[in-house]
Structure 1
Amino acid sequence: MKKKDASLSLFDYAGEMICGVDEAGRGPLAGAVFAAAVILDPSRPIGGLRDSKKLTEARREALAEQIKSDALAWSIAFCTEAEIDEINILQASLLAMRRAIEGLKLQPTLALVDGNRCPVMPLRSEAIVKGDDKVPAISAASILAKTARDASMLALHRQYPDYAFDQHKGYPTALHLERLREHGVTPVHRKSYAPVRAMLDAAGPEGRACDGKEFA
């Protein structure tokens, strides 16, 4: 699809019912990958929308609540760790996006997707590189996907408190890798990712770490 690089707004597509689409969580070693789709209401503009990574946590949370309140429609979906391992993270991200679009209560006529790839689906779509900082609807989707994924990592922290998921959110930080070496691989780790795969391989066929602790 044609990519657009200029700054965009809802009104650049007259007559279209646009949904913005974005994902969160491609890089982490653990947890699901999330995606969101949002149809904004032109009569209820939301100020301050931008790439979720450029917002503070408090601002993201506040905007997420406003998006859910003021948007015409929104939907959040995900692909599990097992799906990521089975079909790879790119395909899982695209599948999560498609699920988010299909979960909208209104039927859009066009999906504007952050990045350079669109999910395969009957709906017309355009991929927009850095769209989360150019298209308000994609920015809104970015915020919903990010806040939903962060909430899921806090839930995983309560389930696996030794791994500090509340701090690194599953990304391959020094702290996360240290906790992996100390405690082993959990069921929520992505076993196809190189650092996790290496630890499993090092454990051998019996599935035990060098320190004698079992991998989950």
Structure 2
Amino acid sequence: MVESLFILALIFILLLSFVATVVFLLSYLGILGRVNVTVGKPIIKNVWIAYKPQKGPYQDCGPHFTEACSLRPDLPCIGIYYDDPETVPKEDLRYIVGLILSEAETPPEDLVSLVTNHGFRIAELPAIDYAVKAEFPFVMDLCGVIGAWKVYPALGTYITERKLSAHPFLEIYLKNKIHYMGPLSKQSDFFVPEVKYNVYKSDDSITRSPGVGAELREDSSDDDQESQTTTSSFEDLGSE
């Protein structure tokens, strides 16, 4: 009798430990818990980025992040997603993936040479006062997939309920968190030239920038109306 009670107690303790471990892992990965969406100042100000334009399903972005991160693991990765996957065919979805080279100050020439020699282009993103934003734990690569699954519906609901215009959507990987943001102003300035004009080339045929931000500055003189005719937003994301 005593031996049976001991075995039952042991099984109960093991089962309890297993459940506690599962709950801890789910919490650690961000699966449990509520996504907190707010409006406020973004985690970044104006930044210089190195990027490559991509086109196709968003779920295929992983290798592009790996490429960027392997080039300079010490620099934050960034992705910008321009189209609403609920309304745009997956093969036509436009996005960029790259690295944040510097904040406010022009990045050093040796860093610019490194990234451009690997086929990346250079752009400067503006500082803004307000964005719709959220964050998610980043403890392993899988968190990028889980974060997209949890965060974007929450962002979409927040934006739809408040009738905001927030686009495009940025993912910024800083230390142990993924920061998501949708700009509420200067939105056309987050569209790189390739996306503005729907120009996509293979990596081998991308013309490298003659100087830091030169092409971006040339394109910034174009009026915002032209850029808006070639872009779509996530305004309806999560509205269904």
Shorter-normalised TM-score: what interval?
A: under 0.3
Q: Which one has the bigger strand percentage? A: 2
TM, length-normalised to structure 2: 0.26
Q: Which one has the bigger helix percentage? A: 1
